[in-house]
Amino acid sequence: MTATSYCCGLSDQPFLGITIGDKFDEIVKRFPDNEALVVHHQNIRFTYTQLKEQVNQCAKALLVLGTKKRDRVGIWSSNRYEWTVLQFATAKVGAILVNINPSYRIHELEYALNQSGCRMLVITDKFKSSNYEQMIMELAPELAFSAIGKLHASILPELTTVISLSDHPPKGILSWSSFIGQSEKCSTAMLKTRQKDQDFDDPINIQYTSGTTGFPKGATLSHHNILNNAYFVATTMELKEIDRVIIPVPLYHCFGMVLGNLGCMTHGATMIYPSEGFDPLAVLKAVEREKATALYGVPTMFIAELEHPEFDNFDLSSLRTGIMAGSPCPVEVMKKVHSLMNMSGVQIAYGMTEISPVCTQTKVGTPLEKQISTVGQVHPHLEVKIIDHETGQVVPIGTTGELCVRGYSLMLGYWDNEKQTKSAIDSARWIHTEDLATMDMEGYINIVGRIKDMIIRGGENIYPKEIEEFLFGHPKVSDAKIIGVPDAKYGEVVMAWIKLNEGEKASTEEFKEFCKGKIAHFKIPKYFKFTDHFPMTVTGKIRKVEMRQISIKELNLDTVSNIETA
């Protein structure tokens, strides 16, 4: 009988049948004096005991402001200690944390807040060129005339409270310090009562992932989903309480808040944020200063660190492991991470937000050949299979097909979107990733392509439909199609093919200006091609594969497109 492409992850490690809040308290008791959180740009160093004090204050303040179980609390911020405090505090009171990408602009913010029904929003004041207070005031000008917690905004009907991490926010917005001060009105007994009311299957997090419908979908994850996934990722890495982990990836993403924060917490290890947003020099400095043992990142980040002109000035000898995930890694980059960064134990992880997020991972002892050419083997307590996309049948070993995943980490569903949930998860509870993969006799998975036309730019998932619909809003546009083209730095970047209305003329600069400030920077096309027609099949369907081939040739990207990746 021919071996088929199916594997299940056997493990003698049981699930953590516990909520995030209870697990956090358990770890604090075990490692009270371990450093829990180090944030260089805020000059913060908290032991687990000190972090618990911050978390409990925040949780009490949430209760004082009337936060109920399953209320949605949005966080729109770069990497700061308050992000992590809010993450653990919402888990304790049973509120659902809604992660909002700091790159979002007004159009995207409005959708996320309304689709999730956010009651409260916590924002940073400014980051890089973004003024978050200004943007929320533009969306909800009623804030200027509203008492704290009493907002009634026509565009954001569910939102009642906005909290800023600045000391002196505009009228109608509560400062973080004033918010935390509310905790004095709540007893410890009240918090304990609320915490006991949590169940590990309760939803605790909504993460937006771009959708083929043109609008992001809110993957809804439970305590059980993300706590266990974090635990098994860190366990596979052989993480211990003595480990110190550099987390330069954004916290709004599963990589940061699950693999980073929760992965460290479940083992009593130290979370270290080198900067508010990714800065390769800050990462290198943090590794040396903190004698870090692990470093996380997408391939783009590792490339930036390796290519930094000051790279050779830093002692990285304390490193031994880490995680590289988010997009395919060029083989030569992986070899340099091994040899030049001392990360012989670095591991490749693969997954998606909807599975909390990791389903395959390399491990300690994985042969170098497998480390640089696969995304590892199935995770503990999960199942993977590779099927023929047309027939649904499991394909033989070595045959390309669609990767499907089933198990404990599968999301509860897309928030308030039953139709999209049913289209992603079949009746047998398999989620169809739409990624093309092969499996070898040892169960190692290799991702070879994508059924969907999703673009992965430096770890950011981008769906063309969303950008196409936005570009249709330009008065000169007759039609617009978005494709991904290869890029040496980001793996892929966005390109727009634009068909203008008859008699119109336009420039790349005009369209980039049109996008600026309205959609996230990573979604703004790097290249624009103005055309009279699109390649089509005989049945009238757009041939994006052909568009990509034409673009690669016209942009002289042949060399970049041939870079070998794992």
Q: Which amino acid is at 79?
A: N
Could you tell me if 272 and 292 are in contact, meaning their C-beta atoms sit under 8 angstroms apart?
A: yes
Write the DSSP assignment of 183-212 as a string of letters: GGGS-HHHHHHHHHT--TTSEEEEEEE--T
Predicted confidence at residue 131, as pLDDT, reads 93
Beta-bridge mates of residue 565: 330
Q: What angle do CA 299, 334, 281 make, to 5 degrees?
A: 55
Sign of CA dihedral 60, 63, 68, 72: negative
pLDDT at 451 over 90: no
Q: Which domains does the chain have, with CATH numbers?
A: 48-217 (3.40.50.12780), 455-561 (3.30.300.30)
Could you tell me if 61 and 186 are in contact, meaning their C-beta atoms sit under 8 angstroms apart?
A: yes
pLDDT tens digits for range 398-424: 998 999 999 999 999 999 999 999 999
Phi/psi at 239 (nearest 5 deg)? -70, 140
Of residues 560 and 401, more confidently modeled: 401
Predicted confidence at residue 212, as pLDDT, reads 43
Predicted confidence at residue 306, as pLDDT, reads 93
Q: CA-CA distance, 414 to 418, in Å (whole number)?
A: 7
* Chain mean pLDDT for the chain: 93
pLDDT at 180 over 90: yes
Beta-strand runs (E) in 312-408:
321-324, 345-351, 358-361, 377-378, 382-387, 401-407
Tokens 């993957």, residue located: 219
Number of other residues whose CB lies within 10 A of the CB of residue 210: 23
pLDDT tens digits for range 463-487: 787 898 889 889 999 888 999 999 9
Q: CA-CA distance, 253 to 78, in Å (whole number)?
A: 11
pLDDT tens digits for range 10-55: 999 999 999 999 999 999 999 999 999 999 999 999 999 999 999 9
Measured CA distances, 515 to 132, 184, 494 (Å):
18, 45, 13
Q: CA-CA distance, 342 to 316, in Å (whole number)?
A: 7
Number of other residues whose CB lies within 10 A of the CB of residue 241: 14
Kindly compute the dihedral angle of the four CA atoms of residues 345, 226, 411, 197, in this order, to the nearest 10 degrees.
Answer: 170
Predicted confidence at residue 461, as pLDDT, reads 77
Of residues 436 and 20, more confidently modeled: 20
Q: CA-CA distance, 67 to 94, in Å (whole number)?
A: 9
Q: CA-CA distance, 508 to 217, in Å (whole number)?
A: 30
Strands 203-209 and 174-175: unpaired
Q: Which amino acid is at 452?
A: K
Q: Going by C-beta distance under 8 Å and a sequence separation of 6 or more, which residues neighbour residue 310?
A: 281, 284
Q: What angle do CA 413, 414, 415 make, to 5 degrees?
A: 110
Q: 545: pLDDT confidence band, cut at 50, 70 and 90?
A: confident
Q: CA-CA distance, 200 to 412, in Å (whole number)?
A: 12
Of residues 390 and 270, more confidently modeled: 270
Tokens 């027939």, residue located: 391
The whole-model pTM stands at 0.86
Tokens 């730095």, residue located: 489
Q: Which of 469, 479, 465, 472 is nearest to 532 (CA)?
A: 479
As a residue count, the chain comes to 566
Phi/psi at 355 (nearest 5 deg)? -120, 25
Q: CA-CA distance, 412 to 429, in Å (whole number)?
A: 11
Q: CA-CA distance, 12 to 420, in Å (whole number)?
A: 35
Q: Going by C-beta distance under 8 Å and a sequence separation of 6 or more, which residues neighbour residue 364?
A: 236, 237, 238, 321, 345, 347
Q: In a 10 Å sphere around its CB, with 0-12 CB exposed, 13-18 middle and 19+ buried, how is residue 67 labelled?
A: buried
Q: Going by C-beta distance under 8 Å and a sequence separation of 6 or more, which residues neighbour residue 363?
A: 236, 347, 376, 377
Q: CA-CA distance, 150 to 199, in Å (whole number)?
A: 30
Q: 227 in helix, strand or coil?
A: helix
Q: CA-CA distance, 436 to 378, in Å (whole number)?
A: 16
Which two tokens mark 538?
A: 């005989």
